[in-house]
Each structure stands twice: as structure tokens, then as C-alpha cells.
Copies of this chain bind each other. A is one copy, B any other.
Amino acid sequence: MRDLSENFRGIEPYTPGEQPQNSDRIKLNTNENPYPPSPSVQTALRSFDCGDLKLYPDPNMSALIDALAAHYGVGRDCVFAGVGSDDVLATCFMAFFNSGKPILFPDITYAFYDVWANLFSIDFHRVPLNGAFEIVKEDYYADNGGIVFPNPNAPTGLDMPAAAIEDILKNNSGVVVIVDEAYIDFGGESALPLIEKYDNLVVTRTFSKSRSMAGARVGFAFANPTLIRELNTIKNSYNSYTLSNLTMKLASAALSDEEYFNETVGKIIATREKYKLKLRELGFEFPDSKSNFIFATHPKYRAEELFEALKASNIYVRHFDAPRIDNYLRITVGTDEEMRALTDFFEEYMREAEK
């Protein structure tokens, strides 16, 4: 008897955080922005004529690419865009990691890197973070087929100075180095200015976090024109039209409202710093996050136990059942009110436990 499944690819997929549907839950589990997108996005939506949907979108995504290039002060041939930074990163993996040598990424990092490597049959090596959860630049100087890491790293929240990234770039001139800057707008120093100097650098970004548009699915990347051309070749070999007419209009609208962006990002940073103090008072320990989440552990309470107790109270955070980090909670920075509900819960929980 033939078995169809013999010809299946057979991959262990990425597991995204839960999307609980009950409306009264506090959702601090997938690093979403607690604030809605800029009002300019709603205005763009209201003025959109659905008649335009009958035509294919511009496969070159010109209007959005131009808006991104102007906003970030780079050439339009230095910008690529896709269906969230996951699509952009997957395209980078396909485009650039074909040497046969293992690519390198941290042992504690975004859990999609090894999934893409497996999907595209790319050999990889996980480089351990040091005991303080830091990326050690010298560990990336060995012979390899490419490098990828987030800055700030996830789920640790720790950032790396651009000078250290530059050292990694210098020591890896024969391979592509991807710096995944999903969280860069919440702190840390962008590697973006380095794309002019290093032809092996790709910087990826997203509208999902700092621009409150996780639901719209838009990511982008910066690199020198040779790498961008290669990304477009792969994109046009997979799906010519990835971003819809409408999505591109909404993304451009979001980009046009810098005041709102600064205001909401500023609020999230202020809340993060305020609740770092509060969590520390409660006995939590954590790396000094520059992102929109806090990766916290407690010397007295097991993370999994807190995770389950929070969930039973309709507060969702993220717990990874993985080596070195299984006693940590990744807590997305929500509004002040959401964070107070979280710390109030911890206070009450600890009071009960210590009775």
C-alpha cells in the first residue's frame, strides 16, 4: 500500500502565542502594541475604494517602497517589503543561506529561525548566549553560512551596541548577516546606517509592534541594492503579489503620522520602565529590556506556576518550555492599567502563598 505522506516535507512548525477570544482578557503574550494604529490608518481605510481591489496590486510595491525609503532616508533600491517580517525573514533565508555551511543564531532567540532553517534544509548551529543572556560577538567569527539575530534579542529584550554588530559584519564579509530589528523602536541602536558600508547586512523591521499593525501583516527590510534585488527575485519566484492594494495604503498612512508613533512608543517605554521598578519590588529578576516586553524570573515562584495562575485569571503572558528559559515569563508591556492588573495579581498571589 502506497503512503502519500512519504513525500510530505514533514516539519515541526513554529507555535505562535495563543489568541484568546474572550473579550475581557488581558493579553500580554504576543508582544502586540496596546494602542490602536494611528488615526491616519482609519482615514485611509475610509477613503479606500473597493473597486480598486479588482486589479492586481503593483508587484513592485512602489508607493510603499517609496514611502519607506523617504521615511528612513535610504534609496528606494535599498528597501524590500513583505507579509510581516516573518515573510521577509523567510525570503532572506531562501535567498541568502545556500552555502551548505551552517548558519549561526543564538540558542535563546526568536523560535522561528530553526523552523525556517529546517523548512529550507539549511544546516544551522545555535550559539549559546553567555550567562547574562548576552550575545558574545566573538562567538560569531567562526566559519559559517550566514548569521541571524534579533536586536534587541527576543525573548531576552537585551540590545547590542551597533559597534558590536559592526565587528560581526567585518568578521563575516563573505556571508549575509541579518539583524532582525522587530523591536528596535523601543530602544537600542539600529544597524540601519551600516547598510551603506557593509554589503553583507540586511536589517529587517515590522509594522506589527511599534506601529500597532500586527493584524495588517507588513514587514520590510533594508540592505544594499544587490541584496534587495535578490530578495525581489525570490519573492517574484514565490508570489508576485504579496501585499494587497489596501494593506499598502494603510501601511503608508501609518508611516505618515510620526507624531502618533512617537507618542505611543514613548508611552510604552515609560510604562516599561515604571513596571520594571514594580516587578523588581516584587522580587522578579530580568535582563534590562530595550523592547516592548520584560523577560522575568522569580527566585521563589516557578514561571510555569505563575503562567497558569495568570491564565486562570484571564491574564495571558508567554512561557517557553525550552532549556535555560523555562523558569522565565515573557511579559509584553501593555498599558499602565494592564500592567497594574498584572502586578496587582502578583502581589495578591504572593500574599496568599506566604500566608
Report A's interface with B, CB cutoff 8 A: 2-9, 11-16, 19, 27, 30, 32-37, 41-42, 45-46, 48-59, 83-84, 86-87, 90, 94-99, 115-116, 118-119, 145-146, 173-176, 199-200, 208, 212-217, 226-227, 230, 232-247, 250
Selected contact of A8 from candidates B83, B216, B230, B236, CB within 8 Å: B230
Neighbouring B residues of A4 by C-beta, 8 Å: 174-176, 199-200, 226-227
Q: In the assembly, how many copies of this chain are there? A: 2
Give the distance in Å from the alpha carbon of A216 to the alpha carbon of B109 in the complex.
33
Residue of B with least CB distance to A235? B13
Closest B residue to A8 by CB, please name it: B230
A95 to B58 Cα, complex, angstroms? 28
- Given A5-B226, A34-B54, residue A237 in contact with residue B96 (CB < 8 A): no
- Given contacts A234-B119, A241-B84, A97 and B216 within 8 Å (CB-CB): no
- Report the nearest B residue to A232, measured CB to CB: B13
A208 vs B56: C-alpha distance when bound (angstroms): 8
Residue of B174, B176, B234, B240 touching A16 (CB-CB under 8 A): B240
A169 to B51, CA, bound (A): 39
B54 touches A213 (CB 8 A): yes
Structural contact, B83 and A242, CB atoms closer than 8 A: yes
A7-B236 in contact (CB<8A): no
Residue of B11, B15, B215 touching A56 (CB-CB under 8 A): B215
Cross-interface CB contact of A57 among B217, B236, B241, cutoff 8 Å: B217
* Bound: A97/B230 CA distance, A: 25
With A54-B214, A240-B86 already in contact, the answer to whether A96 and B7 are too (CB < 8 A) is yes
Closest 8 CB pairs of A and B: A13-B236, A2-B174, A36-B51, A215-B245, A53-B215, A7-B99, A42-B50, A54-B212
Closest to A115 in B: B237
- The reply to whether B237 and A217 form a contact with Cβ atoms under 8 Å apart is no
Q: Which of A4, A87, A115 has the most chain B CB atoms inside 10 A of its CB?
A: A4
- Shortest CB–CB separation between residue A241 and chain B, in angstroms? 6
Cross-chain contact A14 with B216 (CB below 8 angstroms): no
Q: Are B217's CB and A243's CB within 8 A?
A: yes
Contact pick for A90, options B6, B19, B146, B239, CB 8 Å: B239
Query: Smallest Cβ distance from A135 to chain B, in angstroms?
Result: 22
Given A2-B174, A53-B214, A57-B215, 8 more pairs with CB closer than 8 A: A16-B56, A36-B50, A41-B53, A45-B45, A53-B212, A54-B214, A55-B214, A247-B247
Residue numbers in B under 8 Å from A5 (CB-CB) = 226, 230
Instruction: Give, as a whole number of angstroms, the nearest-CB distance from A70 to chain B.
Output: 19
Q: Tell me the complex Cα distance, A247–B83, Å.
A: 12
- Are the C-beta atoms of B175 and A7 separated by less than 8 Å? yes
CB-contact partner of A7 in B46, B87, B146, under 8 A: B146
